[in-house]
Every structure is written in structure tokens, then in C-alpha cells.
A and B are shown apart, each in its own frame.
Chain A
Amino acid sequence: MAPNSIHWFRKGLRLHDNPALLQAVRGAGTVRCVYFLDPWFAGSSNVGVNRWRFLLQCLEDLDANLRKLNSRLFVIRGQPANVFPRLFKEWKISRLTFEYDSEPFGKERDAAIKKLAMEAGVEVNVKTSHTLYDLDKIIELNGGQPPLTYKRFQTLISRLDPPEMPVETLSDALMGGCVTPVSEDHGDKYGVPSLEELGFDTEGLPTAVWPGGETEALTRIERHLERKAWVANFERPRMNANSLLASPTGLSPYLRFGCLSCRLFYFKLTDLYRKVKKNSSPPLSLYGQLLWREFFYTTATNNPRFDKMEGNPICVRIPWDKNPEALAKWAEAKTGFPWIDAIMTQLRQEGWIHHLARHAVACFLTRGDLWISWEEGMKVFEELLLDADWSVNAGSWMWLSCSSFFQQFFHCYCPVGFGRRTDPNGDFIRRYLPVLRGFPAKYIYDPWNAPESVQAAAKCVIGVHYPKPMVHHAEASRLNIERMKQIYQQLSRYRGLGLLASVPSSNGNGTGGMMAYSPGEQPPGTNNNNNNSHCKNDVLLTIPFLFHPGLLLHGRGGITGKRERESERDGSGEKEPTACSRHKMQRQNAQVRLRLSGTPYGSYLAPGAAQRNARRKCLSVSQLSTENVLLHIIIIIIIIVIIYIISLWNYRHKYR
């Protein structure tokens, strides 16, 4: 008898390029496509109405497309683990297929379901189609560790075979003899629910800027590629007011929900490139945006605490401020900075903002101005942003808050200047913050500086109709840059400006370990480039291990100097060629030196001289072992000579 299949939709809400779905119908007697929704959970979850609407539209579209194949979508109310056993029995299922989910909690859930299925005698088929590559292969290629720089990731990718071609779209022909038994009351039992049914108040809800669904996604990709060919005409593209707005060719939410296959996008891009460029082979950078997504999936796949600061081995612990009021102001677009507020309004209304706008608001919330934890910002994005994926969202937030994926962090976006440069006229602000509509372009980014007469003419008095700025940006960014520097200096055991002992860090808080006890000594590794401690990188807040982030990341549970050193000895550090080995050498030097200097306080007690000594010692470390041997030999020779002389002496005495 032909098997009865279930295809379980989670992401990958599409019929094109869906290998798991094809697997479900292949040779099967019946197929049922299911999606699990927990209506009781929906209202209380932290997913906003826009995302729910997008999802429901995707499901409706999926249902509509399945109807064309004489099938239907089964939206099942409940939790998979509770409902599957019943379904297996009721529908006499012998095959279950779904798309591979790379995220840690997804993997956990899938493992549980697999177990259930096996117990029920159901064969399980899993296919990768949400990512371009097999993520585990990338990790394997990197020696079992996820790559932690995008450059490294690109290198790994270039060594892999190109992604597999997208598979055929499910069609009548592919369905073959496979049918979907649909009951009379399908709509009542398994229909796609409405927002109201999920407990959302839809009154006054504006129409969706981003309509969900595979059909929309496929229209968009065509438009996108067409536009792309057309855009090629233009001279240098500039980020402008228009790029801030939702574009009818935007694709990111569709990729997130899997309405659009990333492989389809990949190959369409390649084709276009070949067509326009006459068969020159496309550079990796062509797929930049797809690869970024892939990069974050790879780094997150084995890290269940990827979205947390505590217990996340790749996240730097930064003493963020807990400040619910400030957070609320940011999330509700009441910061008093029109540029920030307009972006947050757009996010809340439409569910999408431009990536530079994301940088701006993320920087403002975290390292730039408010010094609030990126985890809080991430939660807000998760609620509002259509394309927020667990891995990508957390990864970007860590990046933008300088908590991981190390980069230069000297640069904070200014909540006034950045916007002004992007959209000098302020049309973006006027669109999303109508209350400021009356302000002239000159003051629209900093209306608090407008003279009272201007405010009166604009019918908007700052502090009455629109809030005053919640922070003094210059002051806040000064403080925060200082804090960041402090954290990174401590992490790297960079002794900062201190020729003299500045503030030594304790070893109890997972920062410097023992090394922190020798503040007088300047570990040679701290400043890659200048041995002369007089010219330290002071304003350019470079992180000494900037090019070697692998250091921080081995050994779970934190960033302790000891662990780092251990992992280095294991030689499992990320293989960034020269920086790595140099760093290792320096680190070893530092260690050796520490042992040599007897008590680690030695130099600390007498900063000036001892420090110079230490430096000299450090320089001679490499020759030390040979020196030791030489020393021994010399001593032995001296002893022999003395013995010889003594014996001679004795001889003489005897003869006398």
C-alpha cells in the first residue's frame, strides 16, 4: 500500500523549491500539509500583530496554492508534540517530512518529534532548504568551530561547492496519484484563522505594507531582478530618503518565512549577472546579503544561548544599564530624537526598516546613547520586525552593540547628523511623525534647538507636543565610548595608557585572570604594532585581538584568561594565519615572563624600573632557554677549572 504522508510546514512556506514537500508526495497515497498554531499562545506571545498578519497571509496563500492542486493546508490548533501522535493514528501516517531547522531550539523540538514518530513507526524525512549550505559542513571545515568573522566565513564558503540547484515546484504532475482527503468541515477544523480569532484587535489596523505569501514573493523577485538590471544604468547610488521606505522589491521578510527560497534567489541573481556581464563569473560579494544571513545561522546553530549575554561564549559581558523607562521610550518612539522616533514608528507600523536605520536605532539603544542591553532591543525587534529571525536578529544585535564579532567600535551613529545626511529634507521624518510636519528642514532633526517662534509656527512646542531629547547625545556618547574602551582594555589585558599602574582589574570577574595582576608590565601582545609604549592606540579603540576573535570563544562559560590560554595550547584557535601565530607567541612570551618575574607584584611595587626590566626580560625570552644552557655549561666549566686548580694545588702541596 502506498504510504500516507504528512508534510509539516514551519518556515519554508512555499511550494517552489521545497525538497521535503516533494519527498512527502513521492509515491505516496495521500499527503496532508500541516501547520501548527497555538491560538491560546498567539495573543500572549511577544510577536506583534504585523508579524501575525504576515504569517496568516502566508498560510492563506499556501492554502490557495494547494487548492489549485486539489489539496488543502491543515492548520492545526495545538502543540506538535501533543497532537502528532493522534494524527499519526487518525490518518494512518507512515511518512513525515519537514524542512531542516538549524536553530538550537528548533533542533531540539525536531529531535523530540522524530522520536515520537519513530515510536509510532513513522518514517521521517528532513531536507535542508532554508539555507544555501549545510551549516554543519561549514563548521566542520572550520575545525569544528563556527567561524566568527564574516571574512573567515567567506573564505570557507569559497572552498565549498556552490549551493544545490532549487528543486521543481510542486505540480499536478509531481502529485501523481497522491491525493489529500479533505472533509466537509475542513474550513472549520483546519482553516486558516483570522487575526480576530487569535485575539487581535484589528480595528484601525492599516493595510499591510508587506503582504505575506509565496505568490507575492515570486512577483517581488521578478520585479527585484528587473529593477536591478535597470538600476545598473545609474551612477553611484546614494543612500537617500527613498531607500528608507519599504520597497516593493524588498525580499527579506519573504526569505525569513521561507515564502521565497534563498536558493532560487541565489540562482536568479547568478543568471542575471551572467546575462548582464556576458558570462563573467560572479564574485562572492554578489550574494552578500544572502551570505550574511547564512553567516548568522552558522554561528548560532550550536549555541542555544546565542540570544543571551550570560552564558553565551561569544558574547562579551558588558555592564548594561537596566532602565525600563528609557527602554519604553525607545520602543514607543518617544526619545525626542525625530530620526530615532521616525524609524521606530515605521518599524511599529510596517514591520520593516532599512538596515542603516537598524544600525541607527540599535546603536542609540546600546553603545551609543542609552547603554541598555541589546537583549532588550532584540526582543522589541522580535515583536515588530517581519524579517527578524532568531539567529539573524540576535547576531545583528550582538554585532551592532559591539558584544561580539569584533569590529572597530569607535564609531557611534549620531541620532541627529546621521539622519540629516541621509535625508536632508526630512521627508522621512514628516511622513512618520506628522506632529513635526511644520518644522523647516533646518530644525527637523533637532527641533529642540528651534527658536520658540519657529516652534509656534510649526504648531509643535517641544516638551509639550513632542518630547524633549531624552539624553544629551554628546555627553552620553563620550561616557559610553569610555566605558566600551574600558571593557575591551580589560578583556584584552590592555593596560591602557598606564605606564603607571592604573586600575588593575580583579581576577574574580572573568576578565583578565592572573594577567591582570601585573599592571605595571605591558604585555607585549597588547599592542600589536608599537613596542614603544609611548605611542599606544588611544583614540582608535582597536581591540588587540581584533583579527583573532577565536581566542575568546573556546571553552564555554566565559572569557577567562586561563581558558583562553588553554585553548591556545590546544591549538584549536581559529586559523587566521599570521595574526594567530603571532598572537600565540606573544601570549606565550607573556606567560613565560610572568613566571620569570617571581612574584607578579614585582614590577607593580616599583613601577618605573621594574617595568623597564620586565620589558627587557620580555625581549630576551626567546633566547632564554639557550642562555640557560650556556649558563650551565659555563658554570660546569668553571667548576671543573676550580677542581683542576684545587687538585693542582694539592699536588703541589704533596710534592712539597
Chain B
Amino acid sequence: MKRIKGVEEDSNSSSSKSPPEVCKKVRKQTSDESVAVVASESTESDWARLPQELLLHIFQYLPLLDRAYASQVCRTWNQAFHMPELWRCFEFELNQPASSYLKATHPDLIKQIIKRHSNHLQYVSFKVDSSTESAEAACDILSQLVNCSLKTLGLISTARPSFMEVPKSHFISALTVVFVNSKSLSSLKIDDTPVDDPSLKVLVANNSDTLKLLKMSSCPHVSPAGILCVADQCHGLRELALNYHLLSDELLLALSSEKHVHLEHLRIDVVSENPGQHFHTIKKSSWDAMVRHSPKFNLVMYFFLYEDEFGPFFNEEVPVTHLYFGRSVSKEVLGRVGLHCPRLVELVVCANGLRPLDEELIRIAKHCTQLSAIGLGECEVSCSAFVEFVKMCGRRLSQLSIMEEVLIPDHKYSLDEIHWEVSKHLGRVWFPDMMPTWCRFVTSVSHRCLRRSRQLPGCTRKARTPRA
């Protein structure tokens, strides 16, 4: 409240000035002077005389609920509540009590927005939970947004991909309403939805000049031809996310055509839909064209494959910058990564087999000269290889995380020493990640401490023969 009072006092004393000046002044003063002002003067003043601009500025800092309360104070505030500026951005939360723990946007509020503010909306997202009802509610709202012109639209499934359960025709017709009416859509996030080729055509027909961002990972009804049509027409497209099966040489060439702006971000999810699936390969020449056209673009790849499905990948140079392996990868594949990914910036390996990753890491450090972040989940690495890796990468490693449990102490470094050694090479304090191990009061408790102490100079031999 202090701030509001302060602002208010100030505007009274300087009501003759034009509003922008007031704003500036207020911004400067609120922090210190206003408190004093409030303290010295009594607070009986005309709240309604607060200039609209100021009110708007304050309202922008308030969450919706507080704004709603404030709107009940007086007519001016109520008018301010409905100012278009406050309604450009809205997130519909369509949680159902049966399937979510979180509160939903109140239906009356939704009604009111559609009635009074739908033409103001520009940045809209829908958060749905795992229930079909929730996704259907989102579609219903979408189909009522006839007189609005959106710039950003996001359909976000917060739990399970529930849009996939909505009848496809219902979803498509709702989405097309937005595509047709919003002539300047620039960002579109429709991951995990039943969007299809014809609806993408509608999108392209109406928004080809403005579309800059398109995220559509796991949209099974889109074909490579459908996405190619988008790439062909939307020359301003800078960010694109899709699944590997939509990726084709033609698509890459379309994105690197002369008319096309530089691509900034390309995200590919590689997921096996059915066991034994065969993955196509992308020609090196297509990737090269891409890099030539957009030398700085990020290629982000998420892999969720079984070990034996990696055959077609990383046999030739790939300009991948960010690489995530969600399941276990073989040492061999990681070895190929080390050879063929010169642009690699970030690498996450969640798991690998039973043998430590040593040589592979060293190779990656050697060949991937851009690498600045790495995370290793359940991958075992020997301490000396790990230190060597860090030493080779040095301070450019801005992120480095590994679980304490998977570092294997060896003749060179114990777990205590590795913390110092790695910190030294990184130039900052570093620790391995830890997970709570409060229940491990069994014998393995002791392994670590004794293992550590075994490496302490002076007591090595004796520790090994306590029973002798």
C-alpha cells in the first residue's frame, strides 16, 4: 500500500504537471520520499484523481485478483481495470478439479474476457491438464476468439497431451478460427496436438508474413510435406521445433533458401514411435547448406531411443549444438558424437552402460571445442578421466554436473580431491550433485569414507588390513 499512497500524494501535489512528467517523478521519488510524505501528511485525498496513466502503471504490477479487488473501489478504477493494455496478455488455466490440484481461471472471468476483451488479446496461452474436458474447454474458447488478432498463441498441456484426445475436427476448426482471424500471428506453440497439414495450410495462407516461431513437437497428423509448405512460404520463420520424422533434406534446403531469414533455432525430437522403427538419414550436404545460410543457428536434438536404434545417427558430421540423450546411450555412439559434432555446446547424457565413459569424454573435450555445458546422469566416469576432461575444457565449462555416486575414485584422485581439482580448473567452486541418502545406514555407508581415507597418504597400507 505504501507505494500507492506515495504515488497518490505525489500526484496531488503536482497535479498541474502533465502525466508523463508525473510518472517520471513518481518513479524517482517513491522509493524514499514518499514514505516520509505519507508519514507527515494525513492521507485524506481524492483517490479518483489519480491519472489513468499512473493507475495503469500501477495496475500492471498487480496480479489479476488484486486488480479485480481494486476495480471495486470507484468508477475510475473500474474503468482502469478494463483498459486494453491490461488485457493484451492472458493465460487461461483450464484445470478440472478431478484431474488437477491447481485452481482454474474462473468461468465468469473467461466469459467476461470473451465478451469485453477478446479484441484486446494479443498474447494468449491455454494451460490444460490431463483431462479431455480441459482441452475441450480450450477449444471452445479458441473458437470464440473471432474478433481478435493474436500475435502469440500457446496450447500447453501441463500433464498429459490431452489435446490429442479431443475430436480432431473440433480441434482443427477451433484452431483455424484463430489462424483465419489473426492476420499477424508470429509465435505459435502447438506441441502434442492433432494439428494437420490442411490447417497448417490455412496458417500459411493467412500469416505467412508474420510467422516467426513454430513449435509443434509430436504432432502426429502433420506430414513432412505439410511442414515443408510452411518452410516454403513463411520466410520469416526463425524458430522451429518438430519431430525427427518431419525432418527432411527438402525442409533444410527450404529453410536455407535465399529468401529465408536466418534460422535461429531448430529443435528436433527423436522418439521411436514403434519398436524396430527405422530412421532415415539426413544428407550432410543439407546440413552444410543450413550452416552456410544460418551460421549461428542452434540445432537442438533430444533423443529418446533405445541403444540399438542409434544406427543411422552421428555417422557423418552434424551441426548439432545442444544434445540430450534421455535414455541410455552406448559408448560407441558417444564416441561418434565426439567425432562428428564440432559445434556441440551442450551435452546431457542421462545414462550409459556399465563401463565408465572415460575415453569418450576425453574425445569430446578434444573435438568439441565449443562445449560449455555438460550433464552426466547415471554415467560412470573415473575420477582421473573426469579431471582430465575438465582440464581440457577449462573455464569454458560454465555448467558441469555429475552425480557424486557415479564418480569412480582411482589411484590418482579420491572424491574429496576431485572437488578441489575440478574447482581449480574451472576457476570457481564446484561440487558434484548429491541426492539424499538418509536411509543408507547399511554397510555401503562406509565404503565412501573408508575409500576416501584409504587414499590419504600415510595410512594406505594399514587401512587395507584391519583384520590381519
Contacts and interface: CB of A to CB of B under 8 A. Distances in A.
Given A150-B434, A310-B101, A475-B304, A501 B156 contact: no
Contacts, number: 332
A535 interface: yes
Give the size category of B's interface with A: 35 or more
Contacts of A276: 450, 453, 462-463, 466
* Secondary structure of the A contact surface, majority rule: loop
A233 B63 contact: no
A617 B456 CA distance: 53
B99 A277 contact: no
A421 interface: yes
Given A498-B213, A534-B264, A421 B446 contact: no
Contact of A414 (B129, B267, B302, B350): B350
B95 interface: yes
Given A255-B441, A500-B187, A421 B354 contact: yes
B261 to A, nearest CB: 10
B100 A497 contact: no
B324 interface: yes
A562 B438 contact: no
Interface string A457-497: 00000000000000000110111011100100000000001
Contacts of B377: 410-412
Contacts of B456: 277, 280
Interface in B420-468: 428, 431, 433-454, 456, 459, 462-467
Interface stretch (B166-174, B268-276, B285-293): B268-276
A336 to B, nearest CB: 16
A562 B61 contact: yes
Contacts of B340: none
A539 B346 contact: yes
Contact of A600 (B27, B60, B428, B459): B60
Contact of B300 (A320, A539, A604): A539
B185 to A, nearest CB: 11
Contact of B441 (A230, A251, A528, A578): A251
B351 A414 contact: yes
A399 interface: yes
Interface in B215-244: 215, 217-218, 238-239
Contacts of B300: 497, 538-539
Interface string A528-541: 11100011111110
Interface in A423-455: 424, 449
Interface string A513-552: 1100101000000001110001111111010000000000
A555 interface: no
Nearest to A385: B439
B399 A407 contact: no
B463 A514 contact: no
Contacts of B215: 502
B27 A236 contact: no
A4 to B, nearest CB: 38
Given A323-B99, A498-B213, A501-B187, A355 B350 contact: no
A514 B60 contact: yes
B91 interface: yes
Contact of A236 (B271, B272, B372, B451): B451
Given A276-B453, A418-B378, A500-B187, A529 B326 contact: no
A228 B353 contact: no
A411 B378 contact: yes
Contact of A283 (B85, B378, B398, B416): B416
A322 B96 CA distance: 10
B65 interface: yes
A255 B442 CA distance: 12
Nearest to B96: A322
A594 to B, nearest CB: 10
Given A408-B375, A500-B238, A478 B271 contact: yes
A503 B99 contact: no
Contact of B159 (A252, A321, A498): A321
Contact of A228 (B375, B438, B443): B443
Contact of B158 (A255, A319, A528, A560): A319
B93 interface: yes
A412 B302 CA distance: 14
Interface centre among B101, B125, B238 (most CB of A within 10 A): B101
Contact of A509 (B93, B239, B453): B93
A30 interface: no
A105 B452 CA distance: 40
A157 interface: no
A280 B459 contact: yes
A3 B20 CA distance: 78
Nearest to A265: B441
Given A500-B212, A502-B213, A503-B187, A289 B439 contact: yes
B383 to A, nearest CB: 11
B213 A540 contact: no
Contacts of A354: 439-440, 442
Contacts of A387: 439
B186 interface: yes
Contact of B350 (A392, A412, A502, A538): A412
B335 interface: no
B284 interface: no
A233 B464 CA distance: 5
Interface string A310-345: 100000010111110000000000000000000000
A354 B98 CA distance: 34
B4 interface: no
Interface in B26-72: 27, 60-65
Nearest to A294: B438
B351 A478 contact: no
A237 B212 CA distance: 53
Given A395-B436, A474-B326, A322 B463 contact: no
Contacts of A352: 439
Interface in A276-324: 276-278, 280, 282-283, 285-286, 288-289, 292-293, 296, 309-310, 317, 319-323
Contacts of A373: 101
Contact of A317 (B90, B102, B191): B102
Nearest to A596: B27
A513 B85 CA distance: 16
A223 to B, nearest CB: 9
Contact of A237 (B375, B436, B447, B462): B447
Interface stretch (A16-24, A43-51, A173-181, A242-250): A242-250
Interface centre among B213, B327, B378, B446 (most CB of A within 10 A): B446
B83 interface: no
Interface in B369-420: 372-375, 377-378, 398-399, 401, 403, 405, 408-409, 416
Contact of A319 (B102, B125, B347): B102
B442 A250 contact: yes
A249 B443 CA distance: 7
B89 A517 contact: yes
B192 interface: yes
B204 interface: no
Contacts of A229: 466-467
A506 interface: yes
A507 interface: yes
Given A233-B464, A408-B433, A528-B398, A499 B441 contact: no
Nearest to B93: A509
Contacts of B375: 408, 410-411, 540
Given A227-B443, A411-B375, A504-B152, 9 more contacts: A250-B441, A411-B350, A411-B403, A481-B302, A482-B191, A501-B123, A502-B187, A504-B91, A505-B125
7 A-B pairs closest in CB distance: A503-B154, A529-B398, A411-B377, A506-B91, A251-B441, A539-B324, A292-B438
17 contacts: A232-B446, A233-B464, A277-B463, A317-B102, A320-B159, A321-B99, A321-B130, A321-B160, A400-B436, A411-B403, A413-B378, A414-B328, A414-B351, A418-B351, A478-B326, A539-B348, A540-B399
